[in-house]
Structure 1
């Protein structure tokens, strides 16, 4: 039986590990830190690209397939782990969307429900929202409480026999002919049968060490959490490139920044001011709402948000699933299905041609 070593314990790596284990392979997951504590933990949990009609065509099949898969996945993980990921179909509301005509064409092409709301309908949908002349609603967009999802995944995978090795940073690769035969880690050398690199923002650096130069760079995003009354906001609200994500218990996430700051995850006071101001413009009563948390995470940025999913062009036992940028959580189920199908030589539910590692660079 083949053994797969997954480098990266985020949602991309863990869902791939789940698929591979279900296919009968032995799987170990190595992470440079703690399992599930990087971008997958730090994100907002919105299960849709923020403006899906502004995404490349290649992102759409992964996104739509994954969105269909999430309800069963969340229910199964809750049953297996005892932790409810709190998937909730809250809808995505966009006040006064400037490219509504593009959104309508996209929705028609991909057969996605989309509603146009006038000012009165906007007020009924979100009474606390500042007045707007109208907007768009994607009623089927869901959200998940991503820290709970990651805990549920970890427990379910442990029960299934997946081995986790935390604080195992990969320092180098041992190559023999056209195969990686071992990894050098902070805990010594370990042999490799099949290797899957799903290390998020760190994937680019790792892959360059084994001869593959992919344009994956860390992009910092900061989020605030405010404490509100449950039900104050009912939808995910997206405007001015900022968003509000209401949790069931009244926690309200306000995001997010896009910063090219290397691997620095330090939250900044300036970002907090910007996010609080954006929240107050959307919902005036939030101006004095208590802030309960402020954090930052590193997205695995790629040139246009299209991930890299496939086998290394020169090394036969190395596979990659990385570069999902701001949509990792959204695209994870389909990405996992695709990369596991490549590793096991099975039929994939998604055509992988658009994600190959040697595709032309976006300029």
Structure 2
């Protein structure tokens, strides 16, 4: 049992305390506040400045090609909720999340590759993928690599601006009554009689009835305080933004080795490298060269584009290969939502809804996320 910390006076109290103001924590704060619970969200930076701000914002429920059927279903549910979600968030927060619905295109250069992808898409129950032959592909995306002989088009795949989404979640949560504490580092869970009663931070003590830990890589320290080990490790991702000359790219190109994501003002975001167990957020020359080479191989006019900026972030990958969403065993009132890797933006809505439902008594099996919960961990330990 962790050490008990007694605090004389709380500087804030809420039924639910959310630790982490990235896209997962902000979504949880929004959905919990929407249920009418008093909510406080603690973020050590500013919402959207951490790993969430380094994402490119794709809602790639099908293009990601999840092999886990439960995760694939969870991803589709989350993606399909975004049209209504975006309307609510923008109305409440006044922040545009730059929601784009043109769809995603996965091109291929050989008939064998195309048939393999088509068969896999149909096996996974993808939502009505469309086959584009070379003629259709050339008509839809002028200037694409001439060696591309076709593509799979997915009309339901969408994308957003990740920083704006994160801040829209947080802003909407605040409108619904939640309090957001930026620049506040959670340091110690406070446990009394086997139940959480608050959190000690560098700003002071906050009392609560439930705590939801959703702080990305920082979550491991807090989870360890209650004896729960769910190892996470960073996967560094580098990206680059350029400005295309002439006409903008309409569709997101989601290829095996690169993705090209069109944004407002004729910007094109290109990503991303995948470098496990690297803790720095520097963009290397080699990483940048590789991104631009692969991007221009698919879309040659990238070579004539104007450079805008580069960035990098650390994705929180779970050693288990899938996120944990649910109650933390061993202590009452503690929940966690961690390990979303590069799908935090995509899974944010469904994760927020799931945690809000759990606070109301719903179980993981009922929500269709048993594989991401302590229920599975119990089975694996038997």
TM-score range, shorter chain: over 0.9
Moved more, 268-277 or 101-110: 101-110
Aligned Cα RMSD in Å?
A: 2.3
Aligned equivalents of 1:297, 1:245: Cα separation in 2:
17
Q: In the alignment, which residue of structure 2 is the partner of 1:92? A: 104
Task: Check if 1:280 corresponds to 2:296.
Answer: yes
Q: In the alignment, which residue of structure 2 is the partner of 1:154? A: 170
Q: In the alignment, which residue of structure 1 is the partner of 2:78? A: 66
Task: Check if 1:128 corresponds to 2:140.
Answer: no
Q: 2:266 aligns with which of 243, 246, 250?
A: 250
Q: 2:42 aligns with which of 3, 6, 30?
A: 30
1:1-363 pair list within 5 angstroms? 3-49=15-61, 51-96=63-108, 98=113, 100-101=115-116, 103-107=118-122, 109-131=124-146, 132-229=148-245, 231-303=247-319, 305-346=321-362, 350-357=367-374, 359-360=376-377
Aligned equivalents of 2:154, 2:20: Cα separation in 1:
32
Please report the TM-score for the alignment, with normalisation by the length of structure 1. 0.92
Instruction: Return 5+ residue gaps in structure 1 as ranges.
Output: none
CA drift of 1:359 comes to 2.8
Is contact 1:231–1:248 with CA below 8 Å preserved after alignment? no
Moved more, 174-183 or 13-22: 174-183
Is contact 1:53–1:103 with CA below 8 Å preserved after alignment? no
Moved more, 136-145 or 91-100: 91-100
Aligned equivalents of 1:351, 1:358: Cα separation in 2:
12
CA drift of 1:236 comes to 0.9
Aligned equivalents of 1:210, 1:111: Cα separation in 2:
40
Give secondary structure in 2 for the equivalent of 1:158: helix
The change in CA–CA distance for 1:99 and 1:127 in structure 2 (over 3 A counts) is closer
CA drift of 1:269 comes to 2.2
Aligned equivalents of 2:257, 2:222: Cα separation in 1:
31
CA drift of 1:163 comes to 0.6
Give secondary structure in 2 for the equivalent of 1:6: strand
CA drift of 1:15 comes to 1.3
Give secondary structure in 2 for the equivalent of 1:359: helix
Describe the superposition over 1:100-127 as per-residue Cα deviations: whole angstroms up to 9, x where unpaired. 4355344455251111222112111211
Give secondary structure in 2 for the equivalent of 1:326: coil
CA drift of 1:240 comes to 3.5
Describe the superposition over 1:173-217 as per-residue Cα deviations: whole angstroms up to 9, x where unpaired. 232232223322222333332100011232223312321111222
Moved more, 351-360 or 328-337: 351-360
Instruction: Return 5+ residue gaps in structure 2 as ranges.
Output: 1-12
The change in CA–CA distance for 1:228 and 1:326 in structure 2 (over 3 A counts) is same
Aligned equivalents of 1:61, 1:280: Cα separation in 2:
33
Aligned equivalents of 1:287, 1:109: Cα separation in 2:
36
Is contact 1:7–1:29 with CA below 8 Å preserved after alignment? yes
Is contact 1:299–1:326 with CA below 8 Å preserved after alignment? yes
The change in CA–CA distance for 1:206 and 1:136 in structure 2 (over 3 A counts) is same
Moved over 4 A (4+): 346-349
Describe the superposition over 1:119-157 as per-residue Cα deviations: whole angstroms up to 9, x where unpaired. 112111211211211221112211112222223223222
Aligned equivalents of 2:239, 2:126: Cα separation in 1:
32
